[in-house]
Amino acid sequence: MPHVTDLERRRELGQQFRVDSVRMSAAAKSGHPTSAMSAADLMAVLLDGYLRYDYDTPKSPANDRLIFSKGHASTLVYAIFRAAGVISDEELMSYRKFGNPLEGHPTPVLPWVDVATGSLGQGLPIGVGTALAQKRLDRVPARTWVLCGDSEMAEGSMWEAFEHAAHYELDNLTAVVDVNRLGQRGETMVGWDTDVHVERARAFGWHAIAIDGHDLEQIDRAYAEAIATSGKPTAIVARTVKGKGVAAVENENGWHGKPLEDPEAAIEELGGERSIRIEVRKPDPVEASRPPARALELPRYELGSEVATRKAYGEALAALGAARGDVVALDGEVSNSTFAEIFAKAHPERYFEMFIAEQQMIAAAVGMQVLGWRPFASTFAAFLSRAYDFVRMAAVSRARICVSGSHAGVSIGEDGPSQMGLEDIAAFRAIHGSVVLHPCDANQTAKLVAAMADVDGIAYIRTLRPATEVLYGPDEEFEIGGSRVLRSSDEDDVAIVAAGITVREALAAADRLADDGVTARVIDLYSIKPIDVETLAAAAEATRGRIVTAEDHWPEGGLGDAVLAALADTEEPPRVAKLAVRDLPSSGTPAELLGAAGIDAEHIVAAARRLITAPSAHVSS
């Protein structure tokens, strides 16, 4: 039991958090003070009694992690930092102002924020990732605390997190659910029926406790119980009052995401400004040891042999895992298709089965990279669309994660359109700071997998289902941002730009064109973002602006659009005939489907011929 003086200090600290939230949002003229006020007591007890954190070494694996899944309660995040003595009152007042790190929703521009939140339902799945890293990778006694809103319990991703946390027996994870009953627009489906939340958490294998979220002793006991619980994570389901402490807004609908009308009166009602400073308890030092680095020995594939790039992904990843102790792998229950299983067999202690829960898979990867691990997450390219919001937010989190999407495009064949990744290039290109790779052969894949591990951001690799001929020797080097000119002469009539499955179609097309005396430059554009502008510009110039692009992807946002964008603002933008999948595909053999989509050699030849005979401004210049 805490002492009376502890209780009093904690009560005052909660009030300070409320006052600071009112002050910040009043100064910013926006923000979500009432959502911070409901959780203030929960966080006061955590900060004062349970969190173990050294603010001087935020990335240390010894530290606990505190994630605000309800990121809109950002004033509470910053009020905590002020109480911990790491930001000043003046900084506090810069909330939401341009050029300042106290953003509307927390982001890692502040060193004590691990991940960006604000898209609800993400903090808890990310917390599963940090807790996994603490318990299974770093193997340290540190804990992960996640403050969740009750509205976000409607997001399915929360239940992915509940199931995975229990499956992995994450007793170092505590979810604190702030049940203030009110969402942005009105009451949640569950309302104040905390028993429902408790029953659900228990059905998903958690220890769960219902408490009054404003009773400091109950809060204290709940945290103690969470720490004492072994073998399963704990959910503290706290009944709270939105806007607690200010009668004008307490438990009132219509006050979400708004500053208070009379902040001065509210501050007075809350007992005025305070400047309590908490010495947050530091963790005991830990030694997080990682397997030492070894020389990388990538798999080597014989020229002319037939290997699926997805297979090369798995083999290269396993090799990378042998060379680098920081590489971990996750997969969405298709590791025998993505070939992540090769890594799993080689490095079982660094492999995490995420089952059919793509959101949790990406979130866990984001959590693990917080602690310096280098996660590679894989599933079918099509199913990465399930986790698109998590990838989007990973970029806001400045996360370093590697993602592999297998079974790209119509070349998968018989399984049909639901399994074909046809929008993945567009989706991943439109992620801030991303790298998008689409190798065509096994040796190239292996080199790019190794390169991905050093990308500072989101690195995406797209792999193929069918086995394809090895075009490059095992000693060729491939850089991110590069390309490979496979055919060229000084006087090429046309350039064909391809990647992945269409590279062989482009080569076959060039052969057929050559039979008629047409010389085609063939470019393997394996790095779609960043893109090799120089090589493309040279091709445009050499061919007097005649480029055919061929991609196993929708026409929008893919390889063709990337080529256009690369050359858009140049003196002589080329004429580009863009071959892509325009009709909804069906089942069939890969060859039938490539033909039906108009992206096979025959269609490339036809497009090249048309371009050569078409009128062109460049030709006349």
> Any idea which residues carry the catalytic annotation?
358
SS3 label, residue 202: helix
Q: Which residue has the tokens 């959502």?
A: 35
CA–CA distances in Å: residue 74 to residues 165, 191, 236, 271, 618: 25, 23, 20, 22, 56
Shortest Å, Cβ 122 to its own copies: 9
Shortest Å, Cβ 479 to its own copies: 21
In sequence order, the β-bridge partners of residue 177 are 148, 237
Rounded-to-integer distance, Cα 220 and Cα 70, Å: 21
Shortest Å, Cβ 168 to its own copies: 10
Please, what is the angle between helix 358-370 and helix 388-396, to 10°?
A: 20
Two tokens, residue 432: 């801030």
Query: Comparing C-alpha atoms, which of 408, 405, 410, 462 is closest to residue 603?
Result: 410
Rounded-to-integer distance, Cα 457 and Cα 529, Å: 12
Nearer to its own copies by Cβ, of 489 and 589: the residue is: 589
Query: Comparing C-alpha atoms, which of 228, 178, 165 is closest to residue 367?
Result: 165
CB 170 within 8 A of CB 367: no
- HSE, side-chain direction, 13 A CA sphere, residue 135: 20
Nearer to its own copies by Cβ, of 53 and 204: the residue is: 204
Query: Comparing C-alpha atoms, which of 266, 255, 76 is closest to residue 183?
Result: 255
The residue type at 169: E
CB 411 within 8 A of CB 552: yes
CA–CA distances in Å: residue 150 to residues 80, 170, 192: 21, 21, 9
Rounded-to-integer distance, Cα 464 and Cα 311, Å: 9
Two tokens, residue 29: 């003229």
Shortest Å, Cβ 206 to its own copies: 11
Nearer to its own copies by Cβ, of 66 and 425: the residue is: 425
Nearer to its own copies by Cβ, of 65 and 386: the residue is: 386
Nearer to its own copies by Cβ, of 20 and 150: the residue is: 150
Two tokens, residue 592: 């039938």
Two tokens, residue 385: 């669309």
Shortest Å, Cβ 338 to its own copies: 10
CB 494 within 8 A of CB 609: no
Q: Please state whether beta strands 484-487 and 520-524 pair in parallel, antiparallel, or not at all (unpaired).
A: antiparallel
List CB contacts of 139: < 8 A, sequence separation 6 or more. Answer: 288
Rounded-to-integer distance, Cα 416 and Cα 333, Å: 19
CA–CA distances in Å: residue 342 to residues 38, 315, 446: 48, 6, 14
Nearer to its own copies by Cβ, of 321 and 557: the residue is: 557
Nearer to its own copies by Cβ, of 270 and 318: the residue is: 318
In sequence order, the β-bridge partners of residue 281 are 52
Nearer to its own copies by Cβ, of 116 and 605: the residue is: 116
Shortest Å, Cβ 438 to its own copies: 15
> ∠234-236-238 over CA atoms, to 5°?
170
Nearer to its own copies by Cβ, of 46 and 370: the residue is: 370
Two tokens, residue 100: 């300042």
Shortest Å, Cβ 591 to its own copies: 9
DSSP 3-state helix, strand, coil percentages of the chain (rounded to 5)? 40, 15, 45
Shortest Å, Cβ 197 to its own copies: 9
Nearer to its own copies by Cβ, of 197 and 487: the residue is: 197
Shortest Å, Cβ 398 to its own copies: 8
Shortest Å, Cβ 188 to its own copies: 7
Two tokens, residue 543: 């061919």
